[in-house]
Structure 1
Amino acid sequence: MTKSWRAVQAAVPEFADRVQALFDAHKHKTIATIRADGSPRISGIETAFEGGELTFGSMPNARKGADLRRDPRFALHTATVDPVEGEEAQWPGEAKIAGRAIHSGAITNGPDGDLFRADITEVVLTHLNDAATLLVIEWWTPEHGLRKTERE
Structure 2
Amino acid sequence: MTSSTWADFRAAEPVFAETVHQRFTRYRHHVLATLRKDGSPRVSGLEVDVRFGEMWLGMMANSRKAQDLQRDPRCAVQANPGPDDSMDGGDVRIGGRAVEVTDPEVIGRYAQEVGQPEPFQLFRVELGEVVQTCVEGEELVVRTWRPGGAVRTLRRR
Structure 1 length as normaliser, TM-score? 0.89
Q: Which residue of 115, 118, 130 corresponds with 1:123?
A: 130
Amino acid paired to 2:21 = Q
Which runs of structure 1 show a deviation greater than 6 angstroms over 4 or more consecutive aligned residues?
Answer: none
Greater relative contact order, per chain length (Cα 8 Å cut-off, separation 6+): 2
Deviation of the 1:52 alpha carbon: 0.8
1:70-81 alignment to 2 at 5 Å?
Answer: 70-81=71-82
Give the corresponding residue for 1:150: 155
Once residues 148 and 11 of structure 2 are traced to their aligned partners in structure 1, the CA distance between those partners, rounded to angstroms, is 14
**SS of residue in 2 equivalent to 1:69:** helix
Q: Is residue 136 from structure 1 mapped to residue 137 from structure 2 by the alignment?
A: no
Aligned residue for 2:61?
A: 60
Identity of aligned residues (%): 38
TM-score by length of 2: 0.86
What is the Cα deviation at residue 2 of structure 1? 4.5
More helix per residue: 2
Report Cα offsets for 1:21-46 as digits up to 9, x if no partner: 00000000000000000000000010
Mind listing any 5+ residue stretches in structure 1 that lack a counterpart?
84-89
SS in 2 for 1:38: coil
| Matches of 2:90 and 2:3, distance apart in 1 | 27
| Contact 2:3–2:96 (8 Å) recurs in 1 | no
Deviation at 1:79, TM superposition (A): 0.5
Task: Using the TM superposition, give the Cα deviation of residue 75 of structure 1 relative to its aligned residue in structure 2, in angstroms.
Answer: 0.1
Correspondence for 1:51: 52
Aligned mates of 1:65, 1:115 — CA distance in 2 = 9
